[in-house]
Structure 1
Amino acid sequence: MEETDEFLAMAKDRELQAAVDDSPPPFDASAETLSVLRDHWPAGLLCTAGVAAMAANYYLLGAYLRDWMITECRIDPLVASLSMIMGQAMGAAITPLAGWSADYFGVGRTNLAHAAASSVLALPVYRLFHSLRSPILVVGTSVVYIGLATGMSSSVFLWSVELFPVHVRGAGLNFYYNIGEGIGGLGPVVCSWLGNPFGPAYYTVVCSAMASVALATTVWMKQNGGPLQVTHVRDEPY
């Protein structure tokens, strides 16, 4: 009986029907986008604000600081370029330290420390650049500041991922993370428009303060609960 053509056809039909019943519902991009905007906007606001500090430091220090040094501080173009290159290299070297810190102390606390330090140190460091005349001190300060500012924020993407539940993680992260990147990415444009010699410092302070509030909120909610339950995909610490 089990070897007849009729039985084999019936068994195949049952297998196909079971596969259809167990398959996930068809993907609906519009419904997922609507859910991200309507139901997950608190996580989105935190994500946007939290990314702002990293993005501001990345774009201002990576694309704007050299020209600012030359035009506002009268630093030699070669020294300014060398400062940028060595600072970015230091940031890449520090990235593993940021990963270790995220695992050991927690991704929320690591990025909170980065954002808080950035909001406090940005203005003094930019003023220091404005007053330095020794090429060695300019390069040394740049290596330390740019390295820490860009390298220690490298785990912010992991923090952003864990804000959204799995079923909307892709859409939520792509939408709100890129808004935060846009806020930071506008830094050079806004600072050029302001025309203030310390515009980059003020912009960094504002973005970093926003990020500090968002990061502190997620750390608090992870410990105490709240309207947004952080989707922390790893064990403690956070």
Structure 2
Amino acid sequence: MSTTDQPQVFETAAIEDTSLAAFYRDMDTAERRTFWACAAGWALDGMDFMIYPLVIGTIIAIWKVDAGYAGLAGTVTLLSSAVGGWLGGYIADRIGRVRTLQFTILWFSFFSLVCAVVQNFDQLLIARAVLGLGFGGEWAAGAVLMGEAIRPQYRGRAVGSVQSGWAVGWGLAVLAQAILFSAFPAETAWRWMFVIGALPALLVFYLRRYVKEPEIAAAARQSRSGQQPSILEIFSGPILKTTVLASLAATGCQGGYYAVTFWVPRFLTTERKLSIVSSTGYLSALIIGSFAGYLVGAWLADRIGRRNLFLTFSLGAIAVVLLYTQLTLPNNALWVLGFPLGFFASGYFSGMGAFLTELYPTRLRGSGQGFCYNFGRGIGALFPFLVGALSNSTSLANAIAIFAVAAYAVFFIAAYALPETRGRVLHAEA
């Protein structure tokens, strides 16, 4: 009888010290190395993804691309990352988390360099699509690696703190934009942005030397005695309900995030009439709020639980998106609102990695977590395209609000229907 056919009885660990930094103080050397490797990987991942939204206005101007078609490159990247995440998670269940992480990082770093030398938008579209395969696989392998390497009482804070690396990467992308667009003409600066996106490849040297496979994952693969799980097993038995609801939750949280963050740079330079360089301060407020949201979300994931974190932040995100896009406010007020917008539109991600890790048995964890998160990423990938297309018939602010609010509503409903998993102990059963 397979694990998915048996009733699930879960053991939970008591969470005594709820301070944010408790997990790091109590880490051993191997856990800290894994933590920093995954944090750096996620930061560079975030930097690589956010480069395109930052240069989309330049590409539209240089190649005379329609806004909806330009948004399609972001959508295609995310759609292909959905496939890459599912496959990456499945491969991680078969050959290991660390080996899969190394391969996927090299993959999307190489294709970021390809993006830097393309000669027209169609070539860029293809390069971003292929890059997305590695982009999605990297998250799947890294999130499972972190979830299994950290003790259950600290898992929410540790995985959530790694998630904050995305805001750091976003900040690095904005900093690179300010420097490169000041030093070079726009026609070449955007290409150097994609060159910067190849930096994650350097992380592989650290992974090979210092990061080890989690014992629980190695034991699970060894106990299978050559019998590998089916890639479709997450759609069978009682696991199916978990997969459906978790996929909907991931769709809502990512659809809302991409509807906001992908188009806010364009919103500031068109409807708010800011230059690329002067918009940096507004994006900085958004990024600082995002970073704070990740850290607070990481703390709350262990303090109040994963579900309560999702419910609170989805409602907060709806409220702030409406304020940011629907009120006629001076630019100074918009700058202030950037902090809570980034805070609520990002902080719930701190609970997602740990939550998805805890929903699945070890033998299916990579497949389940990789599929659900990246299914959400794939459907959420439609939102940059849909927002761009709708902005042709209404304001960009209205388009952002419509799709973001709808996405966060789906997130709220799915999270409410899923169980709480805080402190769940993981086992090496196949």
TM-score range, shorter chain: 0.7 to 0.9
Tell me the equivalent position of 1:51.
Answer: 250
Tell me the equivalent position of 2:345.
Answer: 149
Return the alpha-carbon distance in structure 1 between the equivalents of residues 288 and 422 of structure 2: 33
Return the alpha-carbon distance in structure 2 between the equivalents of residues 161 and 84 of structure 1: 32
Instruction: Check the 8 A contact 1:115/1:212 in 2, yes or no.
Output: yes
Tell me the equivalent position of 1:216.
Answer: 416
Return the alpha-carbon distance in structure 1 between the equivalents of residues 383 and 294 of structure 2: 23
Aligned-residue offset at 1:211:
0.8
Residue 388 of structure 2: SS of its match in structure 1? helix
Instruction: Check the 8 A contact 2:251/2:377 in 1, yes or no.
Output: yes
- 2:380 is aligned with 1:180: no
Q: Which structure 1 segments of 5+ residues have no match? A: 1-21, 223-229
Return the alpha-carbon distance in structure 1 between the equivalents of residues 264 and 304 of structure 2: 31
Tell me the equivalent position of 2:266.
Answer: 67
Tell me the equivalent position of 1:8.
Answer: none
Tell me the equivalent position of 2:424.
Answer: 233
Aligned-residue offset at 1:189:
0.9
Return the alpha-carbon distance in structure 2 between the equivalents of residues 94 and 176 of structure 1: 23
- Give the one of 205, 215, 232 matched to 1:34: 232
- Give the one of 225, 234, 258 matched to 1:25: 225
Return the alpha-carbon distance in structure 1 between the equivalents of residues 223 and 274 of structure 2: 63
Larger radius of gyration between Structure 1 and Structure 2: 1
Aligned-residue offset at 1:218:
1.3
- 2:133 is aligned with 1:133: no
Residue 260 of structure 2: SS of its match in structure 1? helix
- State how many pairs are aligned: 200
- CA gap 1:82/1:35 in 2 versus in 1, 3 angstroms: same
Instruction: Check the 8 A contact 2:357/2:369 in 1, yes or no.
Output: yes
For normalisation by structure 2, the TM-score amounts to: 0.43
Residue 273 of structure 2: SS of its match in structure 1? coil
Instruction: Check the 8 A contact 1:94/1:151 in 2, yes or no.
Output: yes
Return the alpha-carbon distance in structure 2 between the equivalents of residues 23 and 207 of structure 1: 40
Return the alpha-carbon distance in structure 2 between the equivalents of residues 104 and 193 of structure 1: 41
Residue 254 of structure 2: SS of its match in structure 1? helix
Instruction: Check the 8 A contact 1:60/1:200 in 2, yes or no.
Output: yes
Aligned-residue offset at 1:23:
4.2
- The aligned amino acid for 1:153 is F
Q: Which moved more, 1:163-172 or 1:78-87?
A: 78-87
> Can you list the C-alpha shifts for 1:33-89, whole angstroms capped at 9, x where unaligned?
121123333211211211233313432333221102322343454443321123112
- 2:296 is aligned with 1:97: yes
Return the alpha-carbon distance in structure 1 between the equivalents of residues 305 and 337 of structure 2: 28
- The aligned amino acid for 2:322 is L
Return the alpha-carbon distance in structure 1 between the equivalents of residues 285 and 322 of structure 2: 21
Return the alpha-carbon distance in structure 2 between the equivalents of residues 72 and 169 of structure 1: 44
User: Aligned residues: percent identity?
Assistant: 20
Return the alpha-carbon distance in structure 2 between the equivalents of residues 132 and 45 of structure 1: 40
Tell me the equivalent position of 1:16.
Answer: none
Aligned-residue offset at 1:207:
1.0
- Give the one of 82, 86, 101 matched to 2:285: 86
Aligned-residue offset at 1:133:
2.6
